[in-house]
Amino acid sequence: MTSIKRVTSRIIFHIDMNSFYASVEQSYDPSLKGKAIAIAGNPKERRGILVTCSYEARAKGVYTTMSVWEAKRKCPELILLPPNFERYRIASQAMFEVLRSYTKQVEPVSIDEGYMDVTDIDGPMTALQIADDIQTRLLTELDLPCSIGIAPNKFLAKTASNLKKPMGITVLRRRDIDKILWPLPVLDMHGVGESTAKKLYSIGLQTIGDIAKAEEGLLKETLGKNGPRLKKRANGFDERAVDPDSVYDTKSVGNSTTLPSDESDLYELKKVFKSLTSKVANRLEAKRLAGPTVSIQIRDSDWKNSSRSQSFRNLIYEKDKIFEVAWTLFTKNWDGQPIRLLGVTVSNVVDRVDFTEQLSIYNFEEHAKVEPILNLVESLQQRFGKEMITRGQTQVRKPTYESKTSFSKDLLDDHKDRENK
């Protein structure tokens, strides 16, 4: 009972910038305000996908991830702009600086959203007044709109910020979830995608309330460990704390590409997989990471998405091994439908220096060769301290482009610089 009281007594904000990239462009060029605009990865090519779009564009049926050609068909007057990541990066820095002027308990989760724990803020303002002040400052100082969710935990705060856009401030208390949260369809629940939703539909669960009331055993049988977690959150419980340092955590490394044209030639698809796995391996190497799970993402010409994964006892980071697993997953599961998009990801990654490979009949000889060296290293560390000697190959991470995802390129380095000042 004590722990529940501690969790529910927090006041958590989720700040979600509204159509961030499009809003930044409208701020830089006021002539774009009130017009249907969209940011596309490559506006001139079929493979161009909308990264985001203004609310004026959304009113015409345009939405994020829509292809350029389809967006132009729905909205011929749509203004297409290439992304300007440096511009968005500067705006993100300014946004988070505003948030940190209220409290240091700010957790960035992407370039345009973050959590705040405002429980311990002293002063005369209520939580609603603080949220209104933040929203007003972001609009007047940066010319950027946002929505804010206020709740006793991160899940409910995230849910609340989605309930009123743009420029909404929504309070969601646990006592109100049966009226506000439970009637919503399962797809509206944070953490439920199309694949999970289909599994929930298959056992007769249509709304978030259905998840909240479902038998935990049935959910676990259908969704694994994610089932009980969803039930807990559907009932309004989430014990995750706002963690300003979580921005540094890397959980997966992946790469995907939209093909120039729908492809069904096996030779060409194999070339795409080799390119994707090479990029993933380069990033893993640059960050000195490895993971036990390889997954692939497939989107066919009918926009049907599917994914397959395989996990291993040992961690994987080498290009040839990643390709072998990814290609096997693809060839075993591909139904011959022309392919529009492919992706490869290695997940549950950890720093290679922190893991010990599982011994097997295939690698025990290798371990036997290095065991005397490891014993010597351990002996020296015990005598002189762990920082005095480390395994050389894990000493330095490459500060190269390969070490950066789009998230770290736009945001992570800025937060590191802030901490080092």
For the question of residue 113 being annotated catalytic, the response is yes
Please tell me the number of Cα atoms within 13 Å of 288 on its side-chain side. 14
Contacting residues for 147 by C-beta, under 8 A, at least 6 apart: 15, 16, 18, 161, 162, 164, 165, 166, 167, 168, 169, 170
Q: How far is residue 402's CA from residue 9's CA, in Å, rounded to a whole number?
A: 42
Question: What do you get for the CA distance between the two ends of the chain, in Å?
Answer: 41
Q: What is the dihedral of CA 233, 234, 236, 240, to 10 degrees?
A: 10
Tokens 């893991």 appear where? 355
* CB distance 150 to 191 below 8 Å: no
Q: How far is residue 65's CA from residue 62's CA, in Å, rounded to a whole number?
A: 9
* CB distance 154 to 106 below 8 Å: no
The catalytically annotated residue of 86, 113, 371, 378 is: 113
* CB distance 286 to 409 below 8 Å: no
**Token pair in block for residue 416:** 């590191």
Does 178 belong to an annotated binding site? Answer: no
Does 112 belong to an annotated binding site? Answer: yes
Binding residues for Mg(2+): 16, 112
Q: Catalytic amino acids? A: 113
Binding residues: 16, 112
